[in-house]
Structure 1
Amino acid sequence: MAVDADALSRRAASLYRASRFEAALQAYREVLAIDPDRPDDWLNVGLLLRQAGRAHDALAAYDRALEAGVCNPEEVHLNRAVVLSDDLLDTPAARASLESALAINPEFVPALLNLGNLFEDEGDRKAAKAAYAKALALQPGNILALTRVAEVTRFSDPNDPLIARLSAAVSRHGLTPIERADVGFALGRALDQAKQFDLAFSAYAEANEASRALARNAYDPLAASGFVDALIEEFDSTVQTEAGYCDDSPIFICGMFRSGSTLAERIISSHSRVSAGGELPILPQLVRNRLQPYPTSLTDCPEAFYAELRSQYRDEIEVMGLGGRQLTDKRPDNFLHVGLIKRMFPNAKVVLTRRNPFDNCLSVFFAHLAPELTYASSLDSVAHWYAQYERLAAHWQSTFPHDVYVMDYDRLVMAPREEIERLLGFLRLEWEDACLNPHRGEGQVRTASAWQVREPLYTGSSGRWRNYRDHIDPLVDAFGPPGGRLT
């Protein structure tokens, strides 16, 4: 019996390596039906279930691995914490899992780094820095620990020893592309805060070069334009709903990355009738798993199909424990899916965020975004993508004029009350003073803007491009001189 189980386990592992994940999962289940006390196989089942989006089942598999006496149990507690935090948004339970890992191994650096992430999400800079600093003390050469410490540090002195340490690290031989990107973006941020703008731009440029090396394909302007053309052609209207349809849709907030979407969510969720959902993965997962090739697969689909998608969306919300008050779904790249949103939730309100193109494009270039967002790694490509966003946003506004609102970041920080009144009016929410002070709101923030949105509204990020006027020729070529001249 043991020999059969071992053979099946090897076959399951082979299927996994071949990316035949469903077959691998079935093979592991056959193994465990023969011998349920195989901790490594339970661990692999947990990994596969999490990859399949079955978070609760993954947790159960991880628990079985722990019960069966898996080696290095701290790693399993770490896996549990990632599921609880990223998939189920259960921060207290995630922290408890990390603390369990550290109780087993107090020097387990991955758990310290993840614990620091949780503290960052909660706005506890001091605790986050302490966790990261401990990880760095344990592993002084750990690039991720170094960059995490830098990310929660405020810089004013260009001679700060941490800047010197980052500069030395970025020049280290043998770094992987992801390590070069990590430390490069951290160095760029530090130099920017210390007002060493030319050096900062150089650090950001090198970081983006490393990020490009991680991408499978380069940015393709023709493909990007063609995709937006297809979206405009497919989504030129909404669908008729069945009689008695009740729309309890979230408020969808989307736009270019770094255009103010996190701030918009903080403002809206400061209202007593609204809860923040954050960057929910539900729509992109529906598109990826059910709607390929997108968007042409949706041509002539009946309303019943969108009702099914709507039901699946709501089920996912319930699994995440986000029922109750009206919810925000703030995922910037959902601007690609406004047409789908309006077919799934015909009465949905959509807030698109907009920011000065020079500031927005520079901010994207300076952000450590995922390598698959290939447009982000050069000013030419981010400018092209910004233009596609504007083109698509104009289409959504013309197609759904009563249900799409553009919140202008620069207008907001110049005249907060007026803009917030307009925003709340669009959402049919009465005025509440709390919305004027979004930095005082509670809850997690899990974006690159996590620290900015915890500060009072200010104009410091508007016109930031002026610090980099000698480096923005691609943006001037795309948009013309800001205000007619670079002043």
Structure 2
Amino acid sequence: MDHPACDCGSGLSAARCCAYVPEAEGTRPPDDPALAGEAQAAAQALRGGDRAGAERMSLAVLERTPHQPEALAVLAEIRLGQGGNAAAAALLERLAAVEPANFWPVNKLALLELGRGNVEAAERHARQGVRLAPANPQAHNLMGMAMTEAHRPALGEYHCRRALELAGRRIPLVLANLATCLKNQGKVEEARALYREADALAPDNRQTLLAWAQLEEADRRLDEADALLDRLERLGPPSPAMLLVRAAILGRRKRADAAVALLDRAERTRPLRPAERLERGRQLDRLGRYDEAWADFEAGKRQMREAAGGGYRREDAAGMAAELRAFFTRERLDLLPRAGLRTDVPQPVFILGFPRSGTTLLEQTLTASPLVAAGDELTLVHEIAAAAPRLLASPWDYPGALTELWMGDRREALDTLRDHYLQRVRQLGVLREGARLFTDKMPLNETHLGLIGLMFPGAPLLHLIRHPLDIMVSAMSNAFTHGAHCGSALETAAEHLVLSAELVAHYRTAMDLNYRTVRYEDMIDDQKATVRGVFDFVGLPFDPAVLNHEANPRYARTASYAQVTEKLYDRSRYRYRHYRRQLEPALPILAPLIERLGYTIDA
């Protein structure tokens, strides 16, 4: 009787593919030597160009022995060549489990997951590749690529440099990836030199030219970016990524109409991708075509949800918030120790706030001072929360793991967590000569405000407040995954904004914090007084030069990079008025918060 084929497209029956449950250790029957011979014949057929024969033989072997490694490798290679990524991933995952010391499947998996945009899985496989082959340049290059996509450029830089060192030669693609890592750390001149070198070694490589054009656009060298895109277009039809850069350049030249026309032309030949829809929506917004802009925002978000297979992880977010509220109470916190102050290293300033609330503007202003280094979106607080059970040797998950601090041999464990954070900051290359402070503006760090207050009890906490409906408009017009993917829809972004605001209110009641709110609207209406107050709060002298934040040469590595290179403007203040009708579904969710924060809703 025929068995149904597996949905992944491997060609195997479901029972011998994704529904297959491996035998327990020690209970698997011995492999049939004849099957090994058939698998070798399949591999030989593939090497000889008989893909159909190789496919037929490998399928026959795997239907009888689903864990035969050579047959798995043959079928995986065939599916990769056919673009059957889901099938290839399933086969490679099983091969990696069968032969855990085999570098080939984890190398292929890392590349595959990078291509699919699954950064978390790509990093897992890339790390395993380095463990298995620490002297292999390809392993380090893949780790560098994964870290680039994971927005951890300092670590990416290390592995790219290690790949070049092990290879003993200048490899153009590795040079280009190293350049991207440097660009994402704000080392623009070094990055530009490496792009030039990569281009000289391998002229007209599309990947290099695109990344170089993206750097020039970000660094405001629009003519140079245009020239690189012109070279790219001479090599073939423009890719979606090229169109995005071209549209961004047109927008920065105040030619939103041309940017919209460019994307309209692309849509006549193929469906626009989510990022293209959001970009067109932003350009339509500049033109005052608000209904069309919102339609693009919603369509882009819908496409993102469909591609990711879901949206807001509501239960996860609510469950974590409930656990944090239950643990961080005044009674319990009074019994917990605090970490001491390190005076030998620069200290953090935590810039808190919902994505798109104005945190990048504040960071760009602070780091215009030579006394403040830019940390950007450091994931360290979230990493420490996840690692707390291991770091504290606790049988409980976070936040319950913090009860170990009551033990006599754990009384100074918060110093360990603090030092772990500061060491990672140093490793990431955040610190600079002469800086007394550095910024950490990871969005929604306020989720772990209790942990921050224990590790850095005196650290300045600057919480950006902005009209919630303006945040919603900006959240809908940009892509972000922070907050359990809350930004995938209007209502869920509103839910998570309320959830995070309530959690902050709880922390402020439960513990003493060095906390100050900064209103986005105040930065626009009275920039000098607001910024002076911020510098007084963090304990640094105020320099009027920081008011010219647009002159800060630092490359802001967030979606706001272009906005913060412009002089202060007020077009984003109360922008929600253009979208009053479209925002209606969020009003019941946000109305109490809007009132509590002192805002109103204009008709």
The normalised TM-score by structure 2 is 0.69
Q: How many angstroms apart in 1 are the aligned matches of 2:292 and 2:569?
A: 25
Q: How many angstroms apart in 2 are the aligned matches of 1:479 and 1:421?
A: 31
Q: CA deviation at 1:356?
A: 0.2
Q: 2:380 matched to which residue of 1?
A: 282
Letter in 2 for 1:266: Q
Q: 2:263 matched to which residue of 1?
A: 166
Q: How many angstroms apart in 1 are the aligned matches of 2:429 and 2:158?
A: 16
Q: Quick one: which of 313, 336, 339 aligns to 2:421?
A: 313
Q: 2:574 matched to which residue of 1?
A: 463
Letter in 2 for 1:230: E
- Is it true that 1:145 corresponds to 2:145 in the alignment? no
Q: Quick one: which of 418, 433, 440 aligns to 1:329?
A: 440
- Is it true that 1:261 corresponds to 2:393 in the alignment? no
Q: How many angstroms apart in 2 are the aligned matches of 1:260 and 1:12?
A: 44
For 1:340-351, what aligned pairs fall within 5 Å after superposition? 340-351=451-462
Q: 1:242 to 1:266 in 2, by over 3 A?
A: closer
| CA contact 1:361–1:386 (8 Å) conserved in 2 | no
- Is it true that 1:300 corresponds to 2:388 in the alignment? no
Q: Quick one: which of 214, 217, 238 aligns to 2:307?
A: 214
Letter in 2 for 1:62: A
For 1:218-229, what aligned pairs fall within 5 Å after superposition? 218-229=311-322
| CA contact 1:170–1:184 (8 Å) conserved in 2 | no
Q: 1:386 matched to which residue of 2?
A: 497
Q: How many angstroms apart in 2 are the aligned matches of 1:90 and 1:191?
A: 33
Q: How many angstroms apart in 2 are the aligned matches of 1:419 and 1:379?
A: 30
Q: CA deviation at 1:316?
A: 2.4
Q: CA deviation at 1:251?
A: 0.7
Higher mean C-alpha deviation, range 43-52 or range 459-468: 43-52
Q: Quick one: which of 103, 111, 121 aligns to 1:12?
A: 103
Higher mean C-alpha deviation, range 42-51 or range 7-16: 7-16
In structure 2, the residue corresponding to 1:435 is in which secondary structure?
helix
Q: 2:141 matched to which residue of 1?
A: 46
Q: How many angstroms apart in 1 are the aligned matches of 2:200 and 2:138?
A: 20
Q: 2:130 matched to which residue of 1?
A: 25
| CA contact 1:364–1:382 (8 Å) conserved in 2 | yes
Q: CA deviation at 1:265?
A: 0.9
Higher mean C-alpha deviation, range 270-279 or range 232-241: 232-241
Q: CA deviation at 1:16?
A: 4.6
Q: How many angstroms apart in 1 are the aligned matches of 2:341 and 2:311?
A: 48
Q: How many angstroms apart in 2 are the aligned matches of 1:235 and 1:91?
A: 43
Q: 1:36 matched to which residue of 2?
A: none
For 1:93-112, what aligned pairs fall within 5 Å after superposition? 93-112=190-209
| CA contact 2:377–2:442 (8 Å) conserved in 1 | yes
Q: CA deviation at 1:17?
A: 5.4
In structure 2, the residue corresponding to 1:471 is in which secondary structure?
coil
Residue by residue over 1:414-450, the C-alpha shift from the partner in whole angstroms, topping out at 9 and shown as x without a partner, is 2222222322222122332123332222322111111
Q: 1:4 matched to which residue of 2?
A: none
For 1:87-98, what aligned pairs fall within 5 Å after superposition? 90-98=187-195
Letter in 1 for 2:102: R
Letter in 2 for 1:295: P
Q: 1:220 to 1:43 in 2, by over 3 A?
A: closer
Q: 1:298 to 1:152 in 2, by over 3 A?
A: farther
Q: CA deviation at 1:60?
A: 4.1
| CA contact 1:133–1:149 (8 Å) conserved in 2 | no
| CA contact 2:156–2:178 (8 Å) conserved in 1 | no
Q: 2:280 matched to which residue of 1?
A: 187
Q: CA deviation at 1:370?
A: 4.1
Q: CA deviation at 1:348?
A: 1.0
Q: CA deviation at 1:311?
A: 2.0
Q: CA deviation at 1:122?
A: 3.3
| CA contact 2:301–2:488 (8 Å) conserved in 1 | yes
Q: 1:47 to 1:305 in 2, by over 3 A?
A: farther
Q: 1:204 matched to which residue of 2?
A: 297
Residue by residue over 1:117-168, the C-alpha shift from the partner in whole angstroms, topping out at 9 and shown as x without a partner, is 333443444434443454345343301100111122227677x344223023
Higher mean C-alpha deviation, range 289-298 or range 314-323: 289-298
Unaligned runs of 5+ in 2: 1-72, 74-98, 110-123, 391-396
Aligned residue-pair number: 463
Q: CA deviation at 1:208?
A: 0.7
Letter in 2 for 1:80: L
What RMSD, in angstroms, separates the aligned Cα atoms of the two structures? 3.3
In structure 2, the residue corresponding to 1:443 is in which secondary structure?
coil
Q: 1:454 to 1:141 in 2, by over 3 A?
A: closer
In structure 2, the residue corresponding to 1:250 is in which secondary structure?
strand
Letter in 2 for 1:201: W
Q: How many angstroms apart in 1 are the aligned matches of 2:339 and 2:467?
A: 41
Q: How many angstroms apart in 2 are the aligned matches of 1:290 and 1:169?
A: 49
Q: CA deviation at 1:276?
A: 2.2
Q: 1:35 matched to which residue of 2?
A: none
